[in-house]
Chain A
């Protein structure tokens, strides 16, 4: 295990969608031109997603859709796919998660940010997973997809940040093939809102979920955070594996 972060890890970082995107590669093609090509393809995918889905870009398809200037049918098919993910999340969360939210003026606005990120990374990682004999860990803003080429190989070791002190870890989790997402209030203030009440979710400081794909674990971590005190039981009802840190700092594994 002591070599998990050994010297032969090739790393790259870029800032896309307003957040850092970090890549770690190990193995045969880690330092190759193919790896660079796949990395550029991953970044291009993320930039495309940002251009289509950003609610900060007034000309994005999602911004225009939210203002009623476009219909869903006029948008890229990916927009309908993401909206469907948002609808499923609203249903499975009992309404605690909703991509339609009232803005400051009380007008319902489309904000699919809560479902886009994990989904985008699941798409962006595809060219990297094609690197033969190479282990991949692609993180966007602290949510990541991990892949170890040899199923018996050494897992990626993922640290889970202490929501009260981002310079520290509360736990580590080994991941061979899967995704890890953490939702919390550490870096952006209380940006998760319980859509049932419209109030910031405060019972939990952070929720981490480990699972097969980042799209679903990212959504489930956000829902559990929004559900607050009900979050851990909800995760268990979905047979999720993860970690919850309560507002008082208590850490609890979920399985």
Chain B
């Protein structure tokens, strides 16, 4: 609907996720960290963009020359202030050790714009590339009186027993044949 806005939101949310990732405690103790904020260390720029840089690579933009010396500029790409030119490049971050496991991020950058973010490694450890940004954020319902049950195809909730289901909204939707 509003692709530009969606992309901006997506990039912002992606970057915040990356910041969380790289700033997170790397404690290996078995107790979970109880602090969930305030630990952002600025390591996003220090770590995520100091790795290898490959020009062109897998991006669709074409054939930018390899510019391995440009790695330090990757951080500028992350913050959207790289004004160099319109060439496309792919920037692969160092592998970061997090509390939950290794994380490695790759950015496709065109000019000063991040055009894609690929997670090469993430703590699940299954080794497949994870393309993110495919999923819309849940939209909180502000006006509960106005929005209940309208235009909803299915309801996601804590596991229903068949008995509990009889009282549920899903049951109503099914029965109404909507």
Binding site for B on A (CB under 8 A): 1-2, 4-7, 9, 11, 13, 15, 18-20, 22, 24, 88, 91-92, 94-96, 117, 137, 139, 141-144, 146, 155-161, 163, 166-175, 177-178, 180-188, 191, 196, 206, 208, 210-212, 216, 227, 229-230, 232-234, 236-239, 241-243, 251, 253, 255
Binding site for A on B (CB under 8 A): 13-14, 16-17, 20-21, 24, 30, 32-34, 36, 98-101, 103, 119, 122-126, 130, 132, 134-141, 144, 147-162, 164-165, 167-171, 173-174, 177-178
Which residues of the other chain, A, contact B24 by a CB distance below 8 angstroms?
233, 237
C-alpha gap A88/B125 in the complex (Å): 9
Contact A169 B148 (CB under 8 A): yes
Contact A172 B147 (CB under 8 A): yes
Contact A92 B123 (CB under 8 A): yes
Report the minimum CB–CB distance from A160 to chain B (whole Å). Answer: 5
Which residues of the other chain, A, contact B137 by a CB distance below 8 angstroms?
173, 241, 253, 255
Which residues of the other chain, B, contact A2 by a CB distance below 8 angstroms?
151
Contact A167 B123 (CB under 8 A): no
Contact B138 A243 (CB under 8 A): yes
Choose one: B34, B135, B162; the contact of A211 (CB below 8 Å): B135
Residue of B nearest to A191 (CB): B159
6 A–B contacts from the bound complex (CB under 8 Å): A5-B153, A158-B155, A166-B167, A211-B135, A230-B34, A253-B138
Contact B100 A238 (CB under 8 A): yes
Choose one: B36, B157, B173; the contact of A187 (CB below 8 Å): B157
Contact B135 A182 (CB under 8 A): no
Say yes or no: A187-B158 contact (C-beta < 8 A), given A171-B140, A229-B34.
yes
Say yes or no: A178-B162 contact (C-beta < 8 A), given A216-B124, A237-B100.
no
Contact A232 B36 (CB under 8 A): yes
Which residues of the other chain, B, contact A92 by a CB distance below 8 angstroms?
100-101, 123-125
Which residues of the other chain, B, contact A159 by a CB distance below 8 angstroms?
149, 152, 154-156, 169
Q: Total number of A-B contacts with CB less than 8 angstroms?
A: 238
Residue of A nearest to B140 (CB): A171
Report the minimum CB–CB distance from A204 to chain B (whole Å). Answer: 11
C-alpha gap A1/B171 in the complex (Å): 22
Which residues of the other chain, B, contact A160 by a CB distance below 8 angstroms?
138, 155-157
Contact A137 B154 (CB under 8 A): yes
Choose one: B33, B132, B178; the contact of A239 (CB below 8 Å): B132
Which residues of the other chain, A, contact B33 by a CB distance below 8 angstroms?
230, 233
Which residues of the other chain, B, contact A142 by a CB distance below 8 angstroms?
155-160, 170
Which residues of the other chain, A, contact B155 by a CB distance below 8 angstroms?
139, 142, 158-161, 169
Contact A182 B158 (CB under 8 A): yes
Which residues of the other chain, B, contact A210 by a CB distance below 8 angstroms?
135-136, 138
C-alpha gap A100/B138 in the complex (Å): 33
Report the minimum CB–CB distance from A137 to chain B (whole Å). Answer: 5
Q: Which of B101, B119, B136, B153 has the most CB of A within 10 A?
A: B153
Say yes or no: A163-B158 contact (C-beta < 8 A), given A19-B165, A251-B140, A253-B140.
yes
C-alpha gap A155/B36 in the complex (Å): 33
Report the minimum CB–CB distance from B175 to chain A (whole Å). Answer: 9
Report the minimum CB–CB distance from A237 to chain B (whole Å). Answer: 5
Contact A178 B152 (CB under 8 A): no
Contact A242 B138 (CB under 8 A): yes
C-alpha gap A242/B13 in the complex (Å): 12
8 closest Cβ pairs, A-B complex: A161-B157, A184-B158, A159-B152, A255-B13, A171-B138, A186-B158, A187-B164, A142-B157
C-alpha gap A103/B165 in the complex (Å): 27
Contact B134 A212 (CB under 8 A): yes
Report the minimum CB–CB distance from B86 to chain A (whole Å). Answer: 28
Contact B99 A237 (CB under 8 A): yes
